Structure 1
Amino acid sequence: MKNILFLFLALTTAINAQQNQVNNSNSSVKLTGTIVDSETKNPLEFATLIIQDNNNPSFISGGITNKNGKFIINDIPKGNYNIKVEYISYKTYYLNNVTITKSKNLGQILLDLDVEELNEVELIAEKTTVELRLDKKIYNVGKDLTLNGGSASDVLNNIPSVAVDAEGTISLRGNNNVKILINGKPSTLSGVSPEALKQMPVSTIQKVEVITNPSSKYSSSGTAGILNIILRKSKKTGINGSVTATIKDPEYYKLGLSLGLKRKLFNIFSNVTYTDRERPGYSLFNNDFFDNSNTKIGYENEYRSLDRNYKNLTINAGIELLLNKTSSITNSVAYTKASGLNYTGIDLNNFNTLNNTTINRSRNTEEDSNEENIRYSLNYKRKFNSKGHILTADYQYSRSFELEDRAINEVILGNNNNGLFEEAITDDHQISQLAQLDYTLPFGKNYNSKIEVGYRGVFDNYNIDYTEGSIINNQFIKNNIYSNNLIYSQDVNAGYLQFAQGFNKFSASLGMRVEHTNLAVLLTNNNSTDNKSYTNWFPSVFLSYEFTNKEKISLNYSKRIDRPTAGNLNPFPNRVSKTNLFYGNPDLDPMFTNSFEFNYLNKWDKITFNTALFYSKTEDVIHNVIIETGETEIITNSTNTIAAPIIAKTKRNIAEEDRYGLDATVTYVPRKKWRLSLNLFMYNQKLNGSYNYTNNNNQLINVDFNANQFRWTGSASARLPLMYDINFQTNYYYIGANNNSQTKTKALDRLDFAFSKNIFKNKVSVSIGVTDIFNAYRRYSTSNLDNSISYNELQSDQRNLRATFTYKFN
């Protein structure tokens, strides 16, 4: 096809030249120039130019570059033309409304690599690379060895400034109030929970957009910013796909199939993944208790062993229908069915001031869970004649349910009875809908200006029914005090208007977004309601200047919001342990952040340097707080009776926060197939706030939450080739210590490595690797309260050894 195009252009040029020599010898001119790669400045041989007369669309001329990237097109009639430059795997270059009255040299034309096109033809980068845009950074997921057989959670952990802690919680620049999107839409499949991200295979991910300071075009949710995961959709003609199998120790098995069919008028895409795995882990709580004179009165040790077993089937399928050259409709369905059998064994030991054991007890929980989610998405896209003139419309409907049945057996050692048998059932239903309309209108010379306008409506409904009771004589007796039903709905309607203008090397964007929120919370057991309605405005300003195609700076501002989730609003306690509880707070308000950021990017021949300076101020910060309730759990065995204090964790709007810092990444490519990367993120966080509460003993407790701390995180990676075409890669992650007025958390780190080799003409790849080589990725924290000191350890995932096999076909 490429040869035919070259021949057509050559013949066209020759025929036009002959005609022009006869008919226009006195009114024709010559067009010359050079076409090169914007990054390397290497000439691009066989790049094509297409020239169309504005006044006579039937007249088309053109040419092809030689090995030096040069082109010469002779005998072009004087006139006004549109010029298009194309080269495979590069973005098309447009030069419109060019008036030619004499021979002209267009100079050096720079073409940029089209990363999306590269991914479509499977010319994937050897390592994740970054693009800096006006309002976001794009990390293209390449053949990162440590990601083979991994998940979306592993991909995010490999991105600079993104961290995944020991519990699987994702944070961006040290802030876990981050919004995660799938293909630009909120995914309601498990709420994009840490567990849901672990089920999404890396092979389905094309790139991740990191938007630390989103413009008004994006949803305002997430004070830390947005992580937008873009999934792959094959554009190859014909049948193509891949099969991936992964096995790990501890026990983990995953099998995935990706299959696509591309024809002229439609594109079918699908992905099926089945996972069967175990997640062993543990947590430890040590509590020292003191009286009001600060004299130690007792000690409690609580050890939890975690044995979690998951089975998960995920199916994604869709079809893109090409209605014509400018319009398409895409229908897709995502379905997940999961089951789990999780065992939590809790051993509790209480000691007196002489460290003699007073009471030993065990509380074992066996949880049987079943979950099913389905999401339907509809997308319509219309491209108009001018470049970038687009209308898109989206609708998404999803529903999910999760049923958890927990059997609890608590035994006090030394008693003659058989223990306490309890059962807790959680029935969780969720329905979400999204409607979205976006319109982009470019205008001006070379279409360097544009207006964007749109609407977005998100409608969420939850029904969380929790039933708890005791098993007495093989009968379930409901406990109405601890049972509850939460009905929650949140509707957010938003509209935005954004204007962008380019002035040679300078560009600017101004936007405004308005969101109206309706929130309703109903607790059916006591008929208490909490309804809120509020309207907020979210401006954004983005400025950038490009010194060269390799060096640029940007300055931006935006306002963000973080609304409390249904779980954080639910006031009923999680009672896996009777003396260490968590409950939500229905009085929580959203928190607001004003964020400023300065970015600098420079690319040399072998080194790329990208840095950002940022400052943000957040009001009504939602923070974890620890409360000494004043309540006790009376525990008796044959010789002793103790009153174990109950400590609870909850959420409060308690402070305002100032955060400023530096985020820098350096990448060095000393030679072909070598890549070294270093990321350093450091910030200072200042909290100013306090809170008070009255415990069950009618005591007023005041807590000062002022804090000023410096924290840093870092990551480093190295990739290099070995003998026999084997590639090696190692990654190191470090998350610095985190302190506030109540809790001090130690730093944690992790080291990974992997080997990979392609065989059978690169159709098959085999890789092996180890995650967390030293089994050190665990959290250690200490909390100091008025009458207690609590020490906590947590390891959610252990070191694992994995092997992955991938076969690609087309």
Structure 2
Amino acid sequence: MMKKILVQMFIVSSLMLYCPVAMAQQGRLTIKGTVVEESTGQPIPYATVMVGDNETKKPLEGTTTLDNGRFSLETNASDFYIEVSFLGFKTKTFGPPPTPGNTIDLGEVMLSEDAEQLQEVVVQGEVSRTEFKLDKRVFNVGKDLSTTGASALDVLNNVPSVNVNIEGRISLRGSQGVQILINGKPSIIASEEGNALGTITADMIDKVEVMTNPSAKYDAEGTSGIINIVLKKEERKGLNGSISVNTGAPDSHSVGVSLNRRTENFNLFTQLGIGLRELPNDIETRNVDLENNTTILSYGTEYRNETYYNMVLGTDYHINDNNVLTLSGNFAMEMEDQPSNTTFAALDSNDAITSEWVRTEVTDAKNPKFQYELQYKKDFENHEDHTLLFSGLGNFFGKDQSSEFLNSTISGDDNDSRQQTRTDFKEAIFTFKLDYTNPISEEWTLETGAQYVMNDVSNDYEVNNFTNGSFVNDPGLTNVFEFDQKVLGLYGTGSYEGKKWGIKGGLRLEQTDQNTFLVTTNAANDQNYSNFFPSLHTSYKISDKISFQAGYSKRIYRPRMWDLNPFFNIRNNYSVRQGNPELQPEFTDSYEITSIYILGAVSLNFGVYHRYTTDVIERITTFENNVSTFKPENIGTNKATGIEFNAKYSPAKWLTLNGDFNYNKFQRDGVFETTVFDFGNDQWSSKLMTKIKLPADFDLEMTGNYQSSYQTVQSAVSDNLFMDLGLRKNIMKGKAVLNLSVRDLFASRVDESQIAQASYEVYNRRQRGTFVALGFSYGFGKGEAMQYSGQRRR
């Protein structure tokens, strides 16, 4: 549909260019009518109506039909013909009546489908393909995805090396912490705190750029890489919109509306959503004290239920052809409820139960979220890629939460107790970015820019124990934690890109000022450091079917607030998570060589990579009185060398196979306190996606995933094999879509780990089970069907 619109816009633009600049206004006549489909009688929007000169056959006037198929245009020509056309339909031509008068009413102009044209459209650009640029791998979205009604998240799941889990969390080569950009910059739509990517449809996406080894132009934060979603530069004048309704089990229901109104200078857009969802987690934990031969076993179901509201409002103001100003904002509110029950049992050396009790949690929370964005873009007239871009993004998240925990004895020792916790959390992040790109020639390009990120966090956490008939504050678990971080980045890159060969080099400087402060204990930890992040990339194109790429970059992972916050989480008071305010950042040197082969219906990608990381952050478990405490620590270095293989094969028009394979062997070296953590191990993952076009315009998609077991400095993580299934049907000529999706079809996806030490053992198991969702989406005006699933959990 988008291709048809772009073609019609091109035709109309050409008509306007050929039309005379000034025409006499006297003697003008009006031509009007309605264009409809011959087979259904439905109106055809955006059809082209042209008035041409009978002698020269050159266009004189032109317009396109409205949403209802109607058109009206004026001309002062006397010897002319009228031509009505639309891509995929046979063209109709009319001559002027013998006595035209002041108005020519063509009435209903019925166009019939042109089978030859339709066949050409389907063949052209049908399959999504991958190609190399200097520092990125570009996934061009073809007709196989753009006509399915899929969301941006579905598109990303089709990109080699990229995976999207059930919550919409995106990983690259199996690692999270991926930066998501829209048109090369941070955006409300790409925020980690929302699922607004679900409201972008595949037909709106031009390409997806994957940078596993980003250049110095991009933020050095994050070791996994960057994914940049490039939207099409189309203009849909008039009112466009979509509405989406979703339901699922466990309970997950939502309604989303997207509206867009475009005029000559303004583009107004909004997204509204409301919904509720339920996310149960079956958990099991076993803490074994090998010295005293005692065990604490806990199992149950943790719930997190939410009712949420979401609103996005924004506008693009086209000051002129070369200057655009964008202002947008997002507000969301989540109302949380966590009715969870966990059963605890104390076991002796013979695994006999000595006491048993139930821990009940009642949690209520309100989570307001605000985001706003200001962007200014200037396009210089001498070159389409000569641009100046400024953007400012503000992000606020709050949590006002209260919890009460009640322990009730079932048998054995008296374990009755009550605890209350209160959390007042506030986080504000401001990102300012300035980028300047100057293609000084067809081959040479210079880029420079700056970025400033401010992160301000306050977490007021309080624990009270019920003692002697009243709640008494626990000072050991109560404190106010403040986190403040400012990062200033400056960069410059230069690149040469010829027809066959190219090279790009750059350098980025980032200065970090990080401060943490525990108010109650007056404990402060300040870190201030500056680092250079060089990058170098080159590519060589042997032919249109074979290309190679090599690159190097230096990356950083700065500890997040939750890595640093030392407060205990007492949801399970025998399995405690704790932060470390003295944590240092990780640094990674990343090298890779990749290749791409296009062999008819098969596209292959093969790569070799090596990553060297210092001050690796690992979660270390300490054990005392059957309580396991997890705390992040910097432990030594990690050297990982791996291979990556991606293949896409379409043996028939109705069948597409897409496979990913990633293997790496790593060597961990480090010492924590008196323990040496030196070991080598490997891990691998694979994904096979099968897409089948069924009769009656049904699409079936099956995705199998396997993640191997692997080892950390203390634990062994079990492997995972699971399958997702999706069924989609386009109805109402593609304006509406029905979707059925099943995540973890066989309920086989289980997170399981085992820690085996000389004096203790800790076993953890967590499972979410099967999720089933059914959705309906309808696009009206010039809108397309979309998917909406609300805000992602935090």
**Partner residue, 2:403:** 406
**Conserved 8 A contact 1:166-1:778:** no
What is the CA distance between 1:754 and its match in structure 2? 2.2
Q: Distance in 2 between matches of 1:537 and 1:731?
A: 41
**Partner residue, 1:328:** 324
What is the CA distance between 1:690 and its match in structure 2? 2.1
**Conserved 8 A contact 1:146-1:753:** no
**Map of 1:100-499 to 2, 5 A cutoff?**
129-139=129-139, 157-163=157-163, 170-181=170-181, 184-186=184-186, 192=192, 196-197=194-195, 200-201=198-199, 203=201, 206=205, 208-228=208-228, 235-291=235-291, 297-387=293-383, 388-414=385-411, 419-444=416-441, 447-471=442-466, 476-499=471-494
Structure 1 residues 346, 580: CA separation in 2 closer, same or farther (over 3 Å shift)?
A: same
Q: Distance in 2 between matches of 1:784 and 1:161?
A: 33
**Partner residue, 2:29:** none
Identity %: 27
**Partner residue, 1:43:** none
**Partner residue, 2:638:** 657
Q: Distance in 1 between matches of 2:380 and 2:699?
A: 45
What is the CA distance between 1:725 and its match in structure 2? 2.4
Q: Distance in 2 between matches of 1:736 and 1:344?
A: 31
Question: Alignment partner of 1:532: what SS?
Answer: strand
Q: Distance in 1 between matches of 2:566 and 2:413?
A: 36
**Partner residue, 2:771:** 800
**Partner residue, 1:558:** 553
Matched, 1:674 2:655: yes
CA deviation profile, 1:276-304 (whole Å, cap 9, x unmatched): 1111221111122212xxxx612221113
Q: Distance in 1 between matches of 2:137 and 2:712?
A: 31
Q: Distance in 1 between matches of 2:190 and 2:386?
A: 35
Matched, 1:581 2:576: yes
**Map of 1:378-777 to 2, 5 A cutoff?**
378-387=374-383, 388-414=385-411, 419-444=416-441, 447-471=442-466, 476-628=471-623, 630=624, 632=625, 645-692=626-673, 702-777=674-749
Structure 1 residues 159, 473: CA separation in 2 closer, same or farther (over 3 Å shift)?
A: farther
Structure 1 residues 404, 147: CA separation in 2 closer, same or farther (over 3 Å shift)?
A: farther
Question: Alignment partner of 1:568: what SS?
Answer: helix
Q: Distance in 1 between matches of 2:286 and 2:229?
A: 39
What is the CA distance between 1:189 and its match in structure 2? 9.9
Structure 1 residues 398, 323: CA separation in 2 closer, same or farther (over 3 Å shift)?
A: same
**Conserved 8 A contact 1:302-1:346:** yes
What is the CA distance between 1:773 and its match in structure 2? 1.2
Q: Distance in 1 between matches of 2:359 and 2:736?
A: 49
CA deviation profile, 1:638-668 (whole Å, cap 9, x unmatched): xxxxxxx221111011020111111111111
Question: Alignment partner of 1:669: what SS?
Answer: strand
**Conserved 8 A contact 1:705-1:740:** no
Tell me the TM-score normalized by structure 1.
0.77
Q: Distance in 1 between matches of 2:630 and 2:514?
A: 24
Structure 1 residues 652, 542: CA separation in 2 closer, same or farther (over 3 Å shift)?
A: same
What is the CA distance between 1:676 and its match in structure 2? 1.3
Structure 1 residues 365, 8: CA separation in 2 closer, same or farther (over 3 Å shift)?
A: closer
What is the CA distance between 1:436 and its match in structure 2? 1.3
Q: Of 750, 755, 761, which residue of structure 2 is paired with 1:789?
A: 761
Q: Distance in 2 between matches of 1:246 and 1:143?
A: 25
Q: Distance in 1 between matches of 2:197 and 2:302?
A: 19
Structure 1 residues 663, 624: CA separation in 2 closer, same or farther (over 3 Å shift)?
A: same
**Conserved 8 A contact 2:601-2:651:** yes
CA deviation profile, 1:272-329 (whole Å, cap 9, x unmatched): 22221111221111122212xxxx6122211131122111222222111111111110
Structure 1 residues 808, 171: CA separation in 2 closer, same or farther (over 3 Å shift)?
A: closer
What is the CA distance between 1:565 and its match in structure 2? 0.7
Question: Alignment partner of 1:573: what SS?
Answer: coil
Q: Distance in 2 between matches of 1:397 and 1:619?
A: 32
Q: Distance in 2 between matches of 1:272 and 1:477?
A: 44
Question: Alignment partner of 1:423: what SS?
Answer: strand
Question: Alignment partner of 1:670: what SS?
Answer: strand
What is the CA distance between 1:339 and its match in structure 2? 1.2
What is the CA distance between 1:150 and its match in structure 2? 8.7
Question: Alignment partner of 1:589: what SS?
Answer: coil
**Conserved 8 A contact 2:241-2:258:** yes
Letter in 1 for 2:774: A
**Conserved 8 A contact 1:189-1:373:** no
Give the aligned CA root-mean-square deviation in angstroms: 3.2
Q: Distance in 1 between matches of 2:373 and 2:18?
A: 46
Single out whichever of 409-418 and 769-778 deviates more from structure 2.
Answer: 409-418
Question: Alignment partner of 2:687: what SS?
Answer: strand
**Conserved 8 A contact 1:234-1:260:** no
Structure 1 residues 390, 184: CA separation in 2 closer, same or farther (over 3 Å shift)?
A: closer
Q: Distance in 1 between matches of 2:667 and 2:130?
A: 31
Q: Distance in 2 between matches of 1:144 and 1:360?
A: 57
Letter in 1 for 2:226: I
Question: Alignment partner of 1:575: what SS?
Answer: coil
| Unaligned ranges ≥5, structure 2 | 1-8, 21-57, 59-86, 88-120, 782-794
Tell me the TM-score normalized by structure 2.
0.79
What is the CA distance between 1:168 and its match in structure 2? 7.9
Letter in 2 for 1:529: A
**Partner residue, 2:91:** none
Question: Alignment partner of 1:323: what SS?
Answer: strand
CA deviation profile, 1:257-277 (whole Å, cap 9, x unmatched): 111112221112222222211
Question: Alignment partner of 2:563: what SS?
Answer: helix
**Partner residue, 1:97:** none
What is the CA distance between 1:752 and its match in structure 2? 1.8
Q: Distance in 2 between matches of 1:548 and 1:181?
A: 30
Single out whichever of 383-392 and 765-774 deviates more from structure 2.
Answer: 765-774
**Partner residue, 1:40:** none
**Conserved 8 A contact 2:354-2:413:** no
What is the CA distance between 1:149 and its match in structure 2? 9.7
What is the CA distance between 1:604 and its match in structure 2? 2.7
Q: Distance in 2 between matches of 1:302 and 1:198?
A: 37
**Conserved 8 A contact 1:541-1:557:** yes
Q: Distance in 2 between matches of 1:306 and 1:231?
A: 39
Letter in 2 for 1:569: L
Q: Distance in 2 between matches of 1:148 and 1:403?
A: 41
Q: Distance in 2 between matches of 1:131 and 1:312?
A: 40
| Unaligned ranges ≥5, structure 1 | 13-60, 62-87, 89-120, 633-644, 693-701
Q: Distance in 2 between matches of 1:136 and 1:315?
A: 33
**Partner residue, 2:49:** none
Question: Alignment partner of 2:497: what SS?
Answer: strand
Q: Distance in 1 between matches of 2:413 and 2:592?
A: 65
Structure 1 residues 266, 159: CA separation in 2 closer, same or farther (over 3 Å shift)?
A: same
**Conserved 8 A contact 2:355-2:413:** no
Structure 1 residues 505, 128: CA separation in 2 closer, same or farther (over 3 Å shift)?
A: closer
